Amino acid sequence: MTQHYRITLLPGDGIGPEIMAVAVEVLKVIGEQLDLSFEFQEALMGGAAIDAKGEPLPAETLDLCKNSDAVLLAAIGGYKWDALPRHLRPETGLLGLRAGLGLFANLRPAKILPQLVDASSLKREIVEGVDILVVRELTGGIYFGQPKGIFATETGEKRGVNTMAYTESEINRIGRVGFETAQKRSKKLCSVDKANVLEVSQLWRDRITALAPEYPDVELSHMYVDNAAMQLLRYPKQFDTMVTSNLFGDILSDAAAMLTGSIGMLPSASLGASGPGVFEPVHGSAPDIAGQDKANPLAQVLSAAMLLRYSLHQPTAADRLEQAVNTVLDQGNRTGDIMSEGMTLLGCRAMGEALIQALHSV
């Protein structure tokens, strides 16, 4: 029987529409091959929504997302909207989407592909074999804590305030995602905090430690965030699954991404307790190359693979898509961002065509 799924597409800004078009074509082929039927509904978000509707996350966009099985997001933002007040910025739309869908768990894999080892700015022996998954808390911590704002003090001087706060239940639920993710991988979990200085981190460490007996097969370690940043560059292969708070995860996941040297290759998944997940590439909207058919669509396609795996529970389809990416790289196909000597330079559309050929030949 044909399985039917409704997928909301948020192409966003910059290179977003180009890479989204490739992902949609590829999903259609997978659908035909595996008897899955996808109904795509497109909505405005980010700068595109600001231009058309005057706000980065219109209510109808959030409603469409809620009424779907999964959301595929490309990229948002650009210089054009950088000077707008905070509530009108594309980033605020993204935070609203995360909060509105309750997406508290953000999975950010940083896996080095053997074909691209030399794209890393670190030595081959340091990065070869790196396979890390950062589990970042996404709807709490300093991004959302109250009070926040810029306030006038008694002397008239301004004071900027954000609050890093976590309740026990918020820590427990992301902690569990961390342990369960580690169980499916190499069973090693490193929890990252700043418990030597911050009370909120002390509570984080206490809760994560208290959960550990429920997962006796997982080897738990703790690390301070400054050390974790250093260790990621010194000896990244010591890490398998990392679990951490919103801000620390924002920073560490960029560092982990750069180990692979090819941020254009990295997908991510944002998941809630139930309801649709949001799947998006780690990279940004690259306004400088937008509309020139130069973008690398592979992170978007790998995000579609995560969507198939985590929201639609279609691991065969996800494997096939990941295998197609592997095949096009093995064939020597590269976009500009991952180009090296002797390889074939392709534009965004041509990379999409190569993927479809690879899917047909599986």
Binding to ligand IPM in span 181-210, by CB under 6 A: none
- The torsion region of residue 3 among left (phi > 0), alpha (psi -120 to 50) and beta comes to beta
Total chain residues near Mg ion (CB under 5 A):
1
Q: Which is nearer to ligand IPM, 38 or 144 (CB)?
A: 144
State the pairing for strand pair 70-75/277-281. Answer: parallel
List 5, 143, 166, 215, catalytic entry = 143
The one catalytic residue among 69, 193, 240, 250: 250
Q: CA nearest 36: which of 65, 69, 71?
A: 69
Contact partner at residue 94 from ligand IPM, Mg ion, none, CB < 5 to 8 Å by partner kind: ligand IPM
Q: Which of ligand IPM, Mg ion, none has residue 317 at its interface (CB below 5 to 8 Å by kind)?
A: none
Task: Check residue 250 for interaction with Mg ion (CB under 5 A).
Answer: yes
Cβ contact 255:282 at 8 Å: no
* Sites for ligand IPM among residues 65-94 (CB under 6 A): 91, 94
250 touching ligand IPM, by CB under 6 A? yes
The site map against Mg ion for 201-240 (x = CB under 5 A) is: ----------------------------------------
The CA-atom distances, in angstroms, between 294 and each of 162, 264, 289, 328, 349 are 39, 12, 6, 16, 9
Distance of closest approach, residue 49 Cβ to Mg ion, in angstroms: 20
The closest of 10, 100, 93 to 54, measured between CA atoms, is: 93
3-state secondary structure 174-194: HHHHHHHHHHHCCCEEEEEEC
Cβ within 8 Å of residue 361, ≥6 positions away: 327
Residues that bind Mg ion (CB under 5 A): 250
Residues that bind ligand IPM (CB under 6 A): 91, 94-95, 250
Give the catalytic positions in this structure: 143, 194, 226, 250, 254
